[in-house]
Every structure is written in C-alpha cells, then in structure tokens.
Structure 1
Amino acid sequence: MDEITRIGVDLAKNIIQVHGVDSMERVVVRKAISRQKFPEWFANLEPCLVAMEACSAAHYWGRKLHALGHKVRLIAPQLAAPYRKGGKHVKNDRLDAEAICEAAGRPHMRFVAVKTADQQNVLVLHRMRDGFVEERTALVNRLRGELVEFGAFLPQGIDAFRAHFVEALEDGATELNGVARTALARGWEHVQALDRQIAWCDAQVATHVKHDSNAQRVMAVIGIGPLTVSATVATVGDARLFKNGRQFAAWLGTVPKQASSGGKTRLGRITKQGNTYLRTLLFQGARSAVTSAHRRTDRLSRWIVQLQARVGWYRTLVAVANKHARILWAILAKGERFDPSYVSTPSTLRPATVGQQHEQVNS
C-alpha cells in the first residue's frame, strides 16, 4: 500500500467509511470498517491527516486518533457537502467520505476545533438543563390546557402558574373528578421535580464559573450571566482560533446575510448560523443589557440608549448581541478585562478594511 497522507472518515454508529489518498491525490484505500476495529486500523497506520465531519462522536474519535499520533481536522457538514459527487441528489457513505477527504485538502478550508473531555463534560450540564426546561414548558402548557377544558383559566407566565395551579386544582366548583384531579396533581409533582433538576444544573454551572479564570473575566460583561459564561467557555475552548471578533460573531450567526454583487452591498437578516443555544443566551443577555441601559452612565450603555432611539428595540438587541460576541472574543482570545468605557484608538484598530473583513467571513 502506498503511503497515505490524508483520510476522509464518514462516521456512523456501527460501520465507518474511510477514503484515503496519497501525496499525489491518488486513491489508496476505500473501505468500510466496523466501529470495534476502527481504532485498531488507525493504530497500524503511519501518522497522517484525518478529516471527519463535526457530528455526533466526532470529538471523541478526534481525541482518540490524536492520541495515536494522527493530525485530526473536523469539518462542518455544510462545508463538505459541495465536494460530494452527485451533489444533493446522490448520497451514500462512500461519497461522503470522499467529499470529506477532498474538502480537507482545500488550502482555505475552515475547521472545527476538537473539544476536550472537560469541555464536553460542562456542555452535558447545559444540554440536560435545556432539555429539562423544554420538558417543563411543555408540561406546564399541557396542565394549563387541561384546566381550561374545565373553566379554570390561569394567568400567563410560569410564576403565575405556580402561584395559582394548586388553588385551581382544588376548586370544587369545577367539573374535575377524582381521577382527573389525581392525574393533574401528579403532573404538578413532575413540574416540581423538574424545577429541582434545573436548580441542580444551575448550581453546577455556577461552580464551573467560580473555578474558571476565563469565566470570571467574562462575568464582568453587562448582561452576561453564569449560563452564558459557562456555555461560551465550554463551547469555544480556544478563542484564538478565530482571527478577530467579527469572525467569531459571524460564526455565532449574529451578522447579516449578504447578497452582494457588482460592487453593490446588499445585507439581509442575520444568518442564525452556528450554535443555536449559545446565540439564544447572547440574545437573552442583550435583552437584559438593553432594558437596564438607561440606568447606567458608562459609554457602552449610552451607545445602547442612543441606538435604541434611532433604530428601535429589536435591531438594538441584534446589535448588542453582536457587540457582546466581539467583547467575549477579545476577553477570551487576548486575556483582556471588560471596560464599559473603552474607546478604540488607531493603534488598537486592526489593519483589515471593511471589505477585507467581509471577505474573511464569506471565505
């Protein structure tokens, strides 16, 4: 077998497809390997570049292959798809592995950093908490809807639900019988159990923030709470992988879509690409910062107040979330501390022009 220099891997639960080429881009190996034999097969290879899509278990396998001496690169699925033969009309594991291998050989391809086990352990907390919150919301809506069928109308909001549910359940004027009351009471017990699960997750997140130096610096940003801080530190890892704050904001999907041509710039709505959970937390933090900006006198708060008066509430939320993303990048990548009265000077500005920045995001 000729020496393999690059391998594309299409991950799956049980059967994993690999596609390897040599230094002349000639196909050397193309085969399917069982999950059990996957590490053994790579252990017998000379170290090479291994590319995989950033999907389920990709970070785990990335760490395993890195320990074997291989150079691992993860590619976002949407960046590998254009290299698949047949396009979106033809898809199988062999073509996917070949497309991943081809994409990894492009000189300007962008890659996803392999997360450490510590990062993924923290993200487990966030995913479990997010699932508990979704389950609680669905259950509260279900209980509220069942009470409406018997003429018990509760005010909107989960706090109001907690305050009035038991009273509505025990109201003897409704047509609820004993079995229905018992079923709704069991639902209420489940809501309380979910509250305890969410509170436990919040406590663990607070502990993570307390013992992480990067998280402590980020906590100083106005409108950024422990959840956002913990999720950012665990998701991003090394912020220096992003060239600048605008690239980080573009990765989160807080910059506008472009449909520019012929020298004319056309900007649309925000792209909403990247990590949905982290972007949602940033917008919640932006909402808090905008709401309380009129009570502060620092430069950033004055800018928020002036922007809201000029463009309105919702556009201000997007602008503040974008600015928060850039601030987070500066704190994590450069080790800086948050200063709400910070003023950029010519010596601190990056030399890239606006046009170059657009090119960086679109490349």
Structure 2
Amino acid sequence: MDIDILGIDLAKRVFQLHGADRRGHLLYSSKVMRTELLSVVRKLSPHIIAMEACSSAHHWGRCFQEMGIEVRLISPQYVSPFVKTNKNDANDAAAIVEAASRPTMRFVPVKSVEQQDMRAVHRVRELLLHQRTALINQVRGLLGERGVIIAQTPAAFKRALPEILAKCEGEMTRTCQAILTELLEQMRVLEERIARTNKWISAFMKSSALCQKIAAIDGVGPITATAMVAAVGEAKEFKNGRHLSAWLGLVPRQYSSGGKSRLQGISKRGDTYLRTLLIHGARTVLRYAIGKADSRSRWLQELIARRGHNRAAVALANKNARVIQALLSNSDSYRPPIVAC
C-alpha cells in the first residue's frame, strides 16, 4: 500500500487517519489511539503527512520529521471549506488531505522546541500582566467607593498606595487597610514573576542570533524580537516582507469589485499580540522622531502631519515587519538610515 499523503485529524486520545494516493483515491481510513499513532504511521510509511495547525500539531510534526516524512501543517480556516456534508472526524481527515493536495495551499512551518519555549514565556508573561492589571483595577475600584482616586498606571499605583495605607482615619478603616495590604502583597508576587519572565526573555535574546539581528531595528526590543522569532522563525515561508505584514494584519483590508479598488482600515488578521508589540514599538520611535534629520524621521514627521499619529505608528510597524522578514530570511545585517548633514 503506497500512501502518498496521510491526513490526521488530531485529538487528545483518538486520531482519525485518511490515506490517499497521488490521485486522491482513498487507500486507508481508520481510527487510532494516541499510544498507537507513531507505530501505525511508521508501518504505513506515507510520503507526506498533513494536519491542522492546532496545539499539539508541532509536537507530532517533529516526531514525524524524525522519521523522514514530510509534514504539512494547514491553518484550520483553510481546511473547513473542503469538509463535505456533515462534520465528523472522518470527513475532517479527508478534508485535510484534500486541502493539503491543493498546489496553492499555504502551510504553517513546524516550530522547534526552542520556539515553543519562547512562545510559552510570552504567553505566561501576558497572563501575568493581565492579572496585574485586574488587581490594580480592583484596588482602584475599592478605593473609588471611599472617595480615593488613583491614576491608572502601575507606577502611579505603587507610588500612591503606601501613603493611603498609612492613613487610618475616616473611611479608611483597619479592615480596609488589611484588604489593601493583602492585595498589595499579591501584586508584589506578580511583579516578581513578571521580572522572572523578563529574565527568561533576556536569556533567549542573548542565545539567539536571529533575535539580536532584528533587535537592531528602532522600535524592536527584546520582547518584540523574541516574540517574532518564536512565531515565524527564519520567515522563509513568506515570499516577501509584504506577505509577513499582511499575515500580521498590518495592511489595508480590501473590498474590491468590478475593477474598482476599495481599501479600508487594516485587516487585523493574524496574531494580535505580535501586531500590538510592533505598533507599541513604533509609537516609541515616533516620540523621538521629532527634530531628527535622517530620512526615516523626516518621513515620519511628514506622515504625522499629513495622516495623524495613529496611522503613522501603523505605517512604521508595517515597515518594520517588512524589514524583519528581510533580515530573518537572509544573512544581511540591519543598516540604519543615514543621518543627513
């Protein structure tokens, strides 16, 4: 049985397999338990394995690549149009094979263990930041009910709270002080954990040549650099820089018909976290672009005057994304803009 492409509908315990030849004819269809998957695949020995790019796909992809099998991961949104009639595991596996057989299909590269480590640190850091924000908002709400107002930033919160805790008069009772002290201790623990994740990111930054290369770009720091490398690696699956910026949702959304081109706001497709980091980094660059004479600063100053601060930040983020793709996909180093005399 010469299986050219084997589609696997991934799950926690029971996997659905669908094997086909070069013409797409069904050769094998079966359900396999998790503990038996590797042995069954080794016995079938397909030329290509196709899976949806879900949470465990990269783990299985690495296992199959070690067997010498080509692995194709497909975004689930590209598989769903090929599901015939009702949705079930068998139809899903058949749809994966059909989608992977298309000559114009786009595939997701299999991530390495190091990339997933970077990704995990960023996810934990993002979770801790959300928890810190929720805690600050809770304290601000409790104090607001007692007529005490604190600014929204974490720095202002940490400056104001000790002074508030020192007061024990009026509506600031000892019970309220005890509650606030408990929440302040919880915030201290969160701050320590956030600092620990920052150290991990710094360690990844020092050990990765790709991260160091793209961190030379203005507006791209250690957090953005490690997040980008964790997500796209060497970015060779993107044809050019515009494809990466489109994947990040930094290009205009198009709604064109009848030869009339209509461009709307940015599409906001792809990874929201990466897009947010690039735009926030661009905003930092805009703050220091005023008064500088290099070509990019002049371009940004003119763009801010013509289109506004927000559009200028997105435009710079788009440009940085294109530069990142160029740097990751070849051996060139970043050349900063030349300052005009």
TM-score w.r.t. length of structure 2: 0.95
Partners of 2:170 and 2:232 in 1: how far apart? 53
CA contact (8 A) 1:84 1:95 kept: yes
1:229 equivalent to 2:191? Answer no
1:288 equivalent to 2:284? Answer yes
Q: Deviations over 1:61-91 (max 9, x none)?
A: 10011112221100011111111113xxx42
Question: Which sections of structure 2, spanning at least 5 residues, go unmatched?
Answer: none
Q: Which residue does the alignment assign to 1:218?
A: 214
Correspondence list, 1:191-340, <5 A: 191-340=187-336
Q: Secondary structure at 2:288's aligned position in 1? A: helix
Q: CA deviation at 1:259?
A: 1.1
Partners of 2:135 and 2:90 in 1: how far apart? 43
Q: Deviations over 1:306-354 (max 9, x none)?
A: 1111111111111111001001111111222223327xxxxxxxxxxxx
Percent identity over the alignment is 42
> One-letter code of the match for 1:135?
Q
Partners of 1:95 and 1:183 in 2: how far apart? 55
Partners of 1:331 and 1:17 in 2: how far apart? 40
1:6 equivalent to 2:2? Answer no
> One-letter code of the match for 1:262?
G
Partners of 2:259 and 2:194 in 1: how far apart? 51
Q: Which residue does the alignment assign to 2:122?
A: 126
1:139 equivalent to 2:129? Answer no
Q: Deviations over 1:99-136 (max 9, x none)?
A: 11110000110000000111111211111111111111
> One-letter code of the match for 2:145?
E
> One-letter code of the match for 1:128?
V
Q: Which residue does the alignment assign to 1:36?
A: 35
Which is further off, 255-264 or 208-217?
208-217
Which is further off, 47-56 or 211-220?
211-220
Partners of 1:81 and 1:175 in 2: how far apart? 58
1:77 equivalent to 2:73? Answer no
Partners of 1:176 and 1:17 in 2: how far apart? 62
1:51 equivalent to 2:47? Answer no
Q: Secondary structure at 1:240's aligned position in 2? A: coil
Q: Secondary structure at 1:44's aligned position in 2? A: helix
Partners of 2:133 and 2:300 in 1: how far apart? 32
Q: CA deviation at 1:38?
A: 1.3
CA RMSD across the alignment: 1.7
Partners of 1:101 and 1:227 in 2: how far apart? 37
Question: Which sections of structure 1, spanning at least 5 residues, go unmatched?
Answer: 343-363
CA contact (8 A) 2:73 2:109 kept: yes
Corresponding residue pairs, total: 339
TM-score w.r.t. length of structure 1: 0.89
Q: Secondary structure at 2:253's aligned position in 1? A: strand
Q: CA deviation at 1:268?
A: 1.3
Partners of 1:179 and 1:32 in 2: how far apart? 60
